[in-house]
């Protein structure tokens, strides 16, 4: 079974990657793994404030991942695997891939305007270190285009 890993956030790029991965998973009898990254929060000298900020960030990431999972479930009838992990996004993805050898492909979306985005930029410059292929979904593709090519 093929497993497609998508890093989910609030960006259009993530939604494009999710659409592509879900379509590929449906066509290949595969599944989708969603990773929501909780970025490290700037240090705050007041521990109570720091804990509240971190909890709010984690809650937002969990809500985002749950919403994306619900959409996938309603479209495909399959529940994705969800992970909410705190850390720097590049390290979180590298570690996740190392801990989950069943992942067949990393699926990332490129930004429509400007640079491709930090994850795409990072992993395209480190392709030889990835344990699996990487799909980069151009930001210029419409939903119909993504459906056609997936």
Q: What pLDDT, in 10s, does the model give residues 87-145?
A: 999 999 999 999 999 999 999 999 988 888 999 999 999 888 999 999 999 999 999 99
Count of domains observed in the chain: 1
φ, ψ (nearest 5 deg) of residue 132? -150, 165
CATH number at residue 34: 3.40.50.620
Quick check: 18 and 8 in contact, CB under 8 A? yes
Q: Exposed/middle/buried for 13, CB within 10 Å: 0-12, 13-18, 19+?
A: buried
Strand ranges in 9-80 using DSSP code E only, listed in sequence order: 31-38
Which of helix, strand or coil describes residue 115? Answer: coil
Average pLDDT over residues 18-32: 94
Range of the domain at 82: 3-149
Average pLDDT over residues 8-37: 93
Q: Pick the more confident residue, 71 or 53.
A: 71
């Amino acid at each position: 079974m093929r497993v497609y890993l998508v890093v989910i956030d609030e960006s259009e790029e993530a939604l494009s990657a999710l659409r592509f991965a879900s379509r590929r998973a449906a066509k290949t009898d595969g599944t989708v793994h969603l990773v929501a990254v909780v970025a490290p929060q700037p240090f705050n000298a007041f521990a109570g404030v720091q804990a509240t900020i971190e909890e709010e960030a984690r809650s937002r990431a969990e809500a985002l991942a749950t919403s994306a999972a619900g959409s996938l479930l309603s479209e495909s009838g399959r529940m994705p695997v969800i992970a909410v992990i705190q850390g720097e996004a590049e390290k979180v993805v590298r570690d996740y891939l190392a801990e989950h050898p069943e992942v067949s492909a990393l699926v990332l979306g490129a930004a429509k305007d400007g640079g491709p985005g930090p994850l795409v930029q990072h992993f395209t410059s480190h392709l030889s270190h990835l344990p699996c292929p990487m799909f980069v979904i151009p930001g210029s593709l419409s939903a119909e285009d993504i459906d056609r090519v997936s």
